[in-house]
């Protein structure tokens, strides 16, 4: 891994983060070191090994298609930075 | 004032015998917290009125003859668990003013068991850290040496128990966040089998790895707490349907194992990687002690252990980059100022609200999941995860439990690794393998090096939580490492 192959500007856009010029330089070096460290796992032979997503290989448990709770939107919205009449407020993005 | 280092069983005797009330216990703890917490930073905030009300209720129930193991016992909740109507920050500025609209399942269950919650404990932001230096609300100091870290991410929980500021504390472990701080603070902490304790209401970091657990002064106390927390929960889709009869049996049996003739494996890759001669000697003494209790030892091999840290960081960061996308400045938490577009709301809220380590891990995860790198990193790490899990399964064909070091050494100095995140990640080299494989594992005090505590890690097959606690209890019946206390 070289730092040049890391596009922090692109990644930060994907991650919805923002870095100034100095932070971008630091992030470039930091992430490159992490990726270098991660490379060590390539030494494990994994041909024919199925990926493991869950330690018990459990599958998603489904429940019946019926209402089990009575959510209170008002209570859930008390922590919102801006809410009105049950809606979350954001800057206008459709003209 | 009762001795602040009494364990839960000893407190139970005092409470049920009328020598001390739950209300007196709470006041004694608050007085000690007021005196010591400013130096240690274990608690982010106290729930003073709620604790006093819960203690009064416990006293009334005890007076009416109710007998229950945790009734009136003062504990702390890690600030990752939602507590209804109370601030729940997860150590992050992005949730600085957020009050949870519901209780986490474990908060609810422990309340039903009658505990008294003193307050919320400090932690690394979003449980990302091994030193508790990543909290947006200040670091935690190690009660054994305030110039050193308590470990992380459950550093506040471990330090609070070690400092006599709570009888027990809830905690979480994604890659070592219960065992590493328990080891560095000289207390006992369990990461239960994945799925054993509900994750509902526990703020997610990496969902396939996150597991709630307990830190307390003894294995028996851990068992009492875990019994109240564990069990199936329909609100967590990864909760396991298995019951808690094994924990019931252990507690009914007074913590004693049904069989002392266990086979204990020593993974040679762990012992080879341990560079501290003092630590190796301490572990060897623990081995001798367990042998004298009837346990037999043999060497085992877990050859892919070296790949656990790399695979863990791919998977944990990838899952974090997805989980933490919910913090967008719209539905809850901090919103960035002066954002003129929706995208700017997202980017400014997250950039202002998240700390440096959280951003580093989100970027790493975003990279590993991005087009062109998914197979090379994320999928590869999932394959390595299976290899590691299968190696554990093979080892458990010949042994019942594994004994390893919990950490590379004693607690390091505050600031010592703050500028070297790779060295910080390596602190979890002995704890990440079992986390990837979903094994139950615990850390118990096994000795001291230069006056600082060291932990021994026990790892078991899936759902052998009670067996691990039984081994630790047997060890603690024969030794007094867990009874030592820091000079505060």
- Chain B residue numbers touching A31 (CB-CB < 8 A): 360, 363-364, 367
Find, in chain A, the residue whose alpha carbon is nearest to that of B386.
A52
* CB atoms A51 and B333 under 8 Å: no
Predicted pLDDT at A58: 82
Q: Which residue of B has its CA nearest to A87?
A: B331
CA of B29: how far to CAs of A53, B117, B137, B484, in Å? Answer: 43, 11, 22, 19
From the list A12, A44, A55, the residue facing B384 with the nearest CB is A44
Q: Residue B78 catalytic?
A: yes
- Is B380 designated active site? no
Of the residues B322, B333, B366, the best mutation for testing chain A's interface (the one with the most A CB atoms within 10 Å of its CB) is: B366
Q: What's the gap between Cα B107 and its chain centre? A: 15
- Interchain CB distance below 8 Å, B385 and A51: yes
Answer whether A78's CB lies under 8 Å from B98's CB: no
Check B78, B304, B348, B349 and give the catalytic one.
B78
Look-up of token digits 């150590």: B91
- pLDDT (tens digit per residue) in B438-467: 999 999 999 999 999 999 999 999 999 999
Residue B292 bears catalytic tag: no
pLDDT at A75: 84
pLDDT, position B138: 98
State the count of interchain CB pairs (< 8 A) between A and B.
163
User: Taking the mean position of all CA atoms in its chain, how far away is CA B480?
Assistant: 22
Sequential pLDDT tens for chain A (95 residues): 545 578 999 999 999 999 999 999 999 999 999 999 999 999 999 999 999 999 988 888 888 898 887 778 888 888 899 999 989 999 887 76
Q: Which of B201, B221, B223 is nearest to B212 (CA)?
A: B201
Residue B463, number of CB atoms within 10 A of its CB: 19
Answer whether B63's CB lies under 8 Å from B16's CB.
no
Average pLDDT over residues B204-225: 98
Mean pLDDT of B59-64: 98
Residue B140 DSSP one-character state:
-
Average pLDDT, chain B: 97
Whether the predicted pLDDT of B236 surpasses 60: yes
pLDDT of residue B2: 84
* 8 Å CB contact of B384 and A6: no
pLDDT for position B12 = 97
Query: Which residues in chain A are closer than 8 Å to B197, comparing Cβ atoms?
Result: none
Could you report how far apart the first and last alpha carbons of chain B are, in Å?
Answer: 16
- Closest CB from A11, A54, A93 relative to B208: A54
Q: Can you read off the two tokens belonging to residue B275? A: 């560079």
ipTM value > 0.90: yes
Pairing mode, strands A87-88 and B116-121: unpaired
pLDDT at B260: 75
Nearest residue of chain A to residue B420 (CA atoms): A30
**In this structure, what DSSP letter does residue B374 have?**
I
CB distance B441 to B465 below 8 Å: no
Q: What is the pLDDT of residues B310-348, one digit of tens each?
A: 999 999 999 999 999 999 999 989 999 888 899 999 999
CB atoms within 10 A of CB A61: 11
Whether residues A27 and B240 touch (CB distance < 8 A) is answered with: no
Q: Would you tell me how many other CB atoms lie within 10 Å of the CB of residue B309?
A: 25
Q: Which residues in chain B are contacts of A50 at CB distance < 8 A?
A: 383, 386
Give pLDDT, residue B472: 98
pLDDT band of residue B183 (cuts 50, 70, 90) is very high
Which tens digits make up the pLDDT trace of B262-320?
Answer: 999 999 999 999 999 999 999 999 999 999 999 999 999 999 999 999 999 999 999 99
Best residue of B386, B392, B427, B440 to probe chain A, by most A CBs closer than 10 Å: B386
Measured between beta carbons, which residues in chain B are less than 8 angstroms from residue A15? Answer: 321, 350, 359, 362-363, 366
Q: Distance between CA A41 and CA A39 in Å, rounded?
A: 5
> Is B237–A88 a contact, with Cβ atoms under 8 angstroms apart?
no
At B68, the pLDDT band (50, 70, 90 cuts) reads very high
CB distance B444 to B188 below 8 Å: yes
d(CA B248, CA A70): 34
Mark B409-438 as b/e (b = at least 16 C-beta within 10 Å). Answer: bbbbebebbbeebeebbbbbbbbbbbbbbb
Give the pLDDT of residue B339.
86
Query: Whose CA is closest to B161, among B153, B152, B170?
Result: B170
Using a CB–CB cutoff of 8 Å, tell me whether A1 touches chain B. no
B310-331 burial, b at 16+ Cβ within 10 Å, e below that, comes to bbbbbbbbbbbbbbbeebbbbe
Under an 8 A CB cutoff, do A49 and B387 touch? yes
Interface of A with B in 49-78 (CB under 8 A): 49-56, 58, 60-61, 63, 68, 72, 75-78
Encoded tokens for B148 = 């050193």
- Shortest alpha-carbon distance between residue A8 and chain B (Å): 8
Q: How far is CA A22 from the centre of its chain?
A: 23
Name the residue in chain B with its Cα closest to that of A7: B367
Work out the percent of chain B whose per-residue pLDDT is above 90. Answer: 97
Nearest by CB: B377 against A27, A30, A38: A38
Taking each helix axis from N to C end, the angle separating B219-229 and B8-16, rounded to the nearest 10 degrees, works out to 80
The per-residue pLDDT for B338 is 80
């Amino acid at each position: 891994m070289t730092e040049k192959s890391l596009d922090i500007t692109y990644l930060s856009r994907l991650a919805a983060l923002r870095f100034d010029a100095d932070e971008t330089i630091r992030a470039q070096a930091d992430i490159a070191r992490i990726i270098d460290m991660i490379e060590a796992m390539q030494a494990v032979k994994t041909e024919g090994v199925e990926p493991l997503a869950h330690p018990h290989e459990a599958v998603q448990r489904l429940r019946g298609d019926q209402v089990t709770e009575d959510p209170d939107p008002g209570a859930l919205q008390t922590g919102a930075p801006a809410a009105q009449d049950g809606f979350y407020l954001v800057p206008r993005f459709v003209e | 004032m009762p001795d602040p280092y009494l364990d839960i069983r000893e407190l139970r005797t005092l409470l049920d015998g009328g020598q001390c009330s739950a209300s007196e216990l709470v006041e004694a703890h608050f007085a000690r917290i007021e005196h010591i917490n400013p130096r240690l930073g274990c608690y982010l905030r106290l729930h003073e009125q709620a604790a006093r009300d819960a203690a009064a209720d416990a006293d009334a129930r005890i007076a009416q003859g109710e007998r229950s193991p945790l009734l009136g016992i003062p504990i702390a909740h890690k600030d990752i668990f939602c507590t209804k109507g109370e601030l729940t920050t997860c150590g992050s500025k992005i949730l600085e003013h957020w009050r949870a609209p519901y209780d986490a399942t474990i908060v609810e269950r422990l309340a039903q068991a009658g505990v008294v919650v003193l307050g919320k404990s400090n932690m690394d932001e979003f449980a990302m850290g091994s030193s508790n230096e990543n909290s947006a609300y200040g670091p935690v100091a190690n009660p054994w040496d305030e110039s050193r870290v308590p470990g992380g991410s459950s550093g506040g929980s471990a330090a609070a128990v070690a400092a006599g500021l709570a009888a027990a504390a809830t905690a979480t472990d994604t890659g070592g966040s219960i065992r590493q701080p328990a080891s560095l603070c000289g207390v006992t902490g369990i990461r239960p089998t994945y799925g054993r304790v509900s994750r509902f209401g526990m703020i997610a970091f990496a969902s396939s790895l996150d597991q709630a657990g307990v830190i307390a002064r003894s294995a028996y106390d851990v068992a009492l707490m875990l019994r109240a927390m564990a069990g199936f929960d329909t609100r967590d889709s990864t909760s396991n349907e298995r019951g808690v009869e094994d924990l019931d049996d252990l507690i009914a049996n007074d913590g004693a194992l049904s069989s002392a003739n266990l086979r204990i494996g020593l993974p040679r890759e762990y012992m080879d990687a341990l560079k501290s001669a003092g630590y190796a000697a301490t572990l060897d003494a623990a081995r001798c002690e367990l042998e004298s209790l009837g346990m037999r030892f043999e060497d085992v091999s877990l050859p892919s252990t070296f790949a656990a840290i790399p695979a863990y960081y791919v998977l944990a960061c990838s899952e974090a980059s997805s989980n933490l996308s919910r913090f967008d400045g719209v539905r809850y938490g901090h919103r960035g100022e002066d954002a003129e577009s929706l995208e700017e709301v997202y980017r400014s809220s997250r950039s202002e609200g998240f700390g440096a380590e959280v951003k580093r891990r989100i970027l790493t995860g975003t990279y590993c999941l991005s087009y062109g790198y998914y197979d090379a990193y994320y999928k590869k790490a999932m394959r390595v995860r299976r290899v590691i899990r299968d190696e554990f399964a093979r080892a458990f064909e010949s042994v019942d439990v594994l004994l390893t070091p919990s950490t590379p050494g004693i607690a390091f100095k505050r600031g010592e690794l703050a500028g070297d995140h790779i060295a910080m990640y390596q602190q979890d080299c002995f704890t990440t393998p079992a986390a990837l494989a979903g094994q139950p594992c615990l850390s118990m005090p096994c000795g001291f090096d230069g006056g600082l505590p060291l932990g021994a890690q026990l790892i078991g097959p899936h759902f052998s939580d009670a067996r691990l606690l039984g081994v630790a209890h047997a060890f603690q019946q024969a030794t007094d490492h867990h009874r030592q206390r820091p000079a505060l």
